[in-house]
Amino acid sequence: MSSSSDDYSDEDSYILFKDREDWRDVIPVNPEDNFEHEVVRIAYSEDFKDCFDYFRAICDKDEYSERALELTEECIKRNHANYSVWEYRRRILKKLGKKLEAEYDYTQKMLRRHIKNFQIWHHRQVLCEWANDGSREKAMTELIFKQDQKNYHAWQHRQWVVKRFGLYDGEIDFARELLIKDVYNNSAWNHLHFCIQNSTGWTEEIRKSEISFVLEKLEVAIDNECSWNYLRAIQNHILTANTELGDKFVSKLDVIEERGNSHKHLAAYVADYLAEKAENDSDKEAAEKAVKILTELSTDLDPIRRNYWNYLSSCLSAQFQ
């Protein structure tokens, strides 16, 4: 990710606004001029101070012009996280009735360089709302994912666009392809759940298909917590709804002689399944087995959450005394 200074590397050719003929009619506003005895004066660079002094001046006079639009771009180069500048830029675009194509190109260029900036992503979202069009955004977010597959802002934007404009076609396959490449891509697991939840819904056919898919991925990486969380979500966190699957995991855990940290999520799933089964069927044997696994989690497999596992164990033991 580049620094803001990279955005205006041609400093030799840069002309301060105070030295530009077309800005002679504007008196810059410096809020620090009213304070004679400051404890510490911020050491702004000359061009930074120049840009923002003129920005305050055009805000005070409510100027919406081409030169004001150019000024906002110079301010953004120096502080691309300044909300006030972005907001004023949007007002100018509206007042001038500017076509949005150039602004889309501008924000895409900015996002490629500053992929974690809230204000740029928000600006992009506003453009989509104005145009009532999200068709560009899938390709744009995919460019960002090439830089950072788990970029929170890009995923949030993509999900907003997909839901806002009903662009669900191809999204389930897109998420699956990412997971085939990287099973640990938690963002892709989240997106897969999001798309099914908001489009097809969890029909019995979809549920079976997704269970089959996640089981394949658990064979690749049994230690991936997100895969286990996705499996729980598919079942609406009612693990006894699929006793065949639950019993399969019980048997799988039983045959592992040397259990380690990589098996903690399997053990946690089995413990929850057995505890749920014990409560539903008043099955003391299932409860005892669950307590045994919870004890193993607290002492060997996942001691960092010892207090949590001990709490579950004590609650279950008290229930079946």
Question: Catalytic positions, please?
Answer: 116
d(CA 138, CA 145): 10
Greatest CA separation for the chain:
88
